[in-house]
Each structure stands twice: as structure tokens, then as C-alpha cells.
Amino acid sequence: MSLDTAQQDPELPIPAGVFAEKVTSVEHYTDRLFKFRITRPPTFRFRSGEFVMIGLPNATKPVFRAYSIASPSWDEELEFYSIKVPGGPLTEHLQKVAVGDTVVMRKKPTGTLVNDALLPGKRLWMFSTGTGIAPFASLIRDPDTYEKFEEVILTHTCRDVEELKYGQELVAAVKDDPLVGECAQALRLYNSTTRAEFPFRGRITDLMVSGKLFEDLGVPPISPETDRGMICGSMAMLRDTKSALEGFGLVEGSNNRPDTFVVERAFVD
């Protein structure tokens, strides 16, 4: 039997209790990063910023991995922004998906990077590294975000300049979008790199603690009176950014107990 590029096997049954959706587009950014979109099941509801478990129908018991839904809750399709891990049980196959292939998805979305988990405030900070930008790609396209916050600042830090492209193109598209474009004038993107030459260099925590981030943006330092935070990155980035926000007096919240900042892992180390 011949398998297609993402190693799909038409003879294997779709596991019970999952959605089976078709890939509608794929775009590769670097040899480590790509995005793809799939059809959205009509009954699937989620809050912008949540994640869901996805897999490929390539085994009797497919490997499922958590993925932030990068599209907003109003979108007719679902978008994902993905790493390609060499030899990774899911992504060594997922990186080969093509239009028309099937992606399987568990039915229950969840997550803490949702507007409901934050108390109202003036300025929302979204701190991301690498694929940690994915939940914010959803939230910056959701009009609710701009109803709740006057100003939204998305920070995205990567090693290299090409890894910033997904976020840069997205922010430009959001500002031109007929639905959210007008309110998204309140959105600002702050990029920094940790390896390549770039106007803003360094880890976001260092830029926060030194105050350079606030100088570069022309905003006052973070204060619990006005500012709210969301963080998505590696465990080390979460730990350091969380401690920087706590240093400014912010307190971690959750769905059950909204407060002034929330965190989610971008992946398990």
C-alpha cells in the first residue's frame, strides 16, 4: 500500500471520539517552522487562546500532541503554527502534510491564556518565544481582546530573524482586517532576537528587568494598577518572565481565579 507524504493510511480507522478534518493550506517559514490550516468541525467551540490535542491518522493509536489554536474563535477554519522536531513522533510526519490530508483532533479545547482569566486592565502584554506566539495569534484577531484592553503589546523573541516572520505578517494582516483592523490599531509588536543581528537584541526578561523594553516602546514600567500579562514559552522562559512580572507586583491567575497574569507552556522540555 502506498502512503502519502504525511504517512496517512486510508485503511486505518479514524479513532473514536475525535474529529477528522482536512488540511486547507500549508506554509513553511523555515526548516523548523510552518503553519497549516484545517477545516473546522461545525460543532467545535473554543475560546481564543485555548489549545487542543491533534494527531495524524497514521497508526491504530495515533500520537496526539497539544497545539494552541492560532486562529480566533470566530474563524471558519482552524490554524496551527508548528515546530518541526527532527525525529519528533508527531512533527516528523506532520511537517509533510499537504492540502487534502486528514488531521485528527480531540474534541475538548482547554487552556489558561484566555481573556476570562485576567482581571480588566488598561494594557495587555503578551510575552512569547518561538511557537509560543500561537495562542496570541488567536487572541490578537479576536475583537473581545480590544474590548477588554485599550492597548495590546505582543512581544515575540526568537533566535533568528526569519523566525519572526509569521508574527510580523500576522500583525500586518490584522491591522488590515475588515473585522478587527480598526480596533487592532491598539496592537503593537515588539520583536527581539537572541542570536541574529537585529535592532532589538536579547531575552525579553533581560529587556524587562533593565527597563529597555519600556524605553523602546515609550510606555511606563509594568504596574498592577494598569497592566495585565500572558506568557507562553519554554519552561525557563515562563519561570523568568513570571518572576519578572511578580517583581512588578502582578499575581498569577487562572480560569477559576482571574488575576493580573497567566502562563502556559509552549511545549514540554
Ligand X SMILES: Cc1cc2nc3c(=O)[nH]c(=O)nc-3n(C[C@H](O)[C@H](O)[C@H](O)COP(=O)(O)OP(=O)(O)OC[C@H]3O[C@@H](n4cnc5c(N)ncnc54)[C@H](O)[C@@H]3O)c2cc1C
The residue within the footprint of ligand X, chosen from 8, 48, 58, 68 (CB under 6 A), is 68
The residue within the footprint of ligand X, chosen from 37, 40, 65, 228 (CB under 6 A), is 65
Tell me how far apart the 2 most distant CA atoms of the chain are, in Å: 62
- CB 158, min distance to ligand X, A: 10
User: Bridge-partner residues for 125, per DSSP?
Assistant: 153, 229
112 or 191: CB nearest ligand X: 112
Nearest residue by C-beta to ligand X? 88
**Is residue 79 within the footprint of ligand X (CB under 6 A)?**
no
The residue within the footprint of ligand X, chosen from 82, 205, 241, 260 (CB under 6 A), is 82
Burial 175-193 (b: 16+ CB within 10 A, else e): eeeeebeebbebbebbbbb
CA-CA distance, 116 to 127, in Å (whole number)? 18
Closest residue by Cα to residue 38 from 25, 57, 51, 53:
25
90 or 208: CB nearest ligand X: 90
The residue within the footprint of ligand X, chosen from 15, 41, 89, 143 (CB under 6 A), is 89
**Is residue 46 within the footprint of ligand X (CB under 6 A)?**
no
**Is residue 59 within the footprint of ligand X (CB under 6 A)?**
no
Q: Is 165 exposed, middle or buried, given 0-12, 13-18 or 19+ CB atoms closer than 10 A?
A: middle
**Is residue 109 within the footprint of ligand X (CB under 6 A)?**
no
Q: What is the dihedral of CA 255, 257, 259, 265, to 10 degrees?
A: -40
The residue within the footprint of ligand X, chosen from 90, 97, 124, 183 (CB under 6 A), is 90
User: Bridge-partner residues for 110, per DSSP?
Assistant: 51
- CB 122, min distance to ligand X, A: 28
Closest residue by Cα to residue 129 from 213, 9, 38, 233:
233
**Is residue 91 within the footprint of ligand X (CB under 6 A)?**
yes
**H helix runs in the chain, sequence order:** 91-94, 134-139, 143-148, 165-176, 204-210, 212-217, 235-247
- CB 92, min distance to ligand X, A: 6
**Is residue 219 within the footprint of ligand X (CB under 6 A)?**
no
The residue within the footprint of ligand X, chosen from 62, 109, 130, 229 (CB under 6 A), is 130
**Is residue 267 within the footprint of ligand X (CB under 6 A)?**
yes
User: Bridge-partner residues for 34, per DSSP?
Assistant: 28, 82
93 or 123: CB nearest ligand X: 93
Q: Interface with ligand X by CB under 6 A: which residues?
A: 51, 63, 65-68, 81-83, 85, 88-91, 130-131, 134, 264-269
